[in-house]
Amino acid sequence: MPYVMVHIPKPPAASPVPRAVPTSADVARLAGVSRATVSYVLNNTSAVRISEPTRRRVHEAAKELGYVPHAAARSLRAGHSRMVLMPAPAIAMGPLHGQFINELQWALSRLDYTVVQYGTAGLRGDEAARAWAELRPVAVLVPDAELGPEGVSVLKRAGARAVVTFGPERVEGAHALLMDHDAVGHCAGRHLYARGRRRIGVVVPEEAGLERYSRPRLEGVRQALHGTDARVTAVPLAYTEQSAAELAARWPESGIDAVFAYNDEYAMLLMRALQDMGVRVPEDTAVLGADDLMLGRLLRPRLSTIHIALPSGRELAELVDRVVQDPGAEPETHRVLGASVVQRESS
């Protein structure tokens, strides 16, 4: 009788049984308290007095079990979330903006809000607002976005109690922090003119998205020098060494004797290229930046700059909290972005 070899495969190993997600009831059992007490402790409810030993037991039990409160369930109970949404900027904003955002996030966390940065992935304006609304934030902070009144309405209908924009113009229905970039350029123009400069260049970055800041700064310089004997020239510059080197090679024929370089980073880039071409700073060309970054103080010559006073993160966090508590209040408008010259050696 012929024999046939048959290979019987081993059965696949059983998948491990997933561990059950710990609940507040599990925490309550381990801590020996009620579920209401767990809720009061983990949600930092101040209306109910809980002894410190009980609080410790609840926190230790939650840590041992790996339990964290369910944000969505907490939002349903409260009627709103504690999420503050900020669209992630589509362009590099620089160290000054990063410092402001860090301070704002810290201040909001102290008020028991969670800040979430949202990548819009190409969405803009009211279309972006609909995407933000899906997350049901209690507040939305929109830096220089093209948000219209319809977008503000969409966010409020979805439960956002506070919509705050910070940019050059206010949006109907939203609280506004108005950023006056013209004032930065005006300050720069007055300073360079007072230093005896009459052929003044203003760097206009070629990077997409920066025109919303560079155009007002250029216009501010022009306004400051209107009616004087000074000439203002827009100077396009990409943020690359090659672009700066090419511009520096043409510099002597331009006749420019001073340049407001948009910000400190562009100023440092251009100043290095000018010096490599033998252009003396400030003897041949004065250079002025903006933002007052630490690196500018380490250059030789030290970089003159415009110090920009952004609103404090604490003040903005307090505005958000105030509006969340009183969402029906009339929208507030605050003018911010003070500008002052810090004169050093480059001008």
pLDDT at site 74: 59
pLDDT at site 338: 79
pLDDT at site 143: 76
pLDDT at site 1: 47
Strand order in the sheet with 83-87: 114-118, 83-87, 139-143, 162-167, 175-179, 333-336
The Cα 295–Cα 307 span in angstroms is: 14
Residues whose CB is less than 8 angstroms from the CB of residue 151 and which lie 6 or more positions away in sequence, other chains included: 125, 126, 128, 129, 130
Flag residues of the chain having pLDDT under 70: 1-19, 44-47, 70-80, 89-94, 120-122, 144-145
Model confidence over 23-42: pLDDT tens digits?
Answer: 888 889 999 999 889 888 88
Task: Take residue 285 and report the two structure tokens written for it.
Answer: 């060309």
Per the CB < 8 A criterion, the answer to whether 286 and 202 are in contact is no
pLDDT at site 144: 64
pLDDT at site 202: 98
Model confidence over 269-316: pLDDT tens digits?
Answer: 999 999 999 999 999 999 999 999 999 999 999 999 999 887 788 888
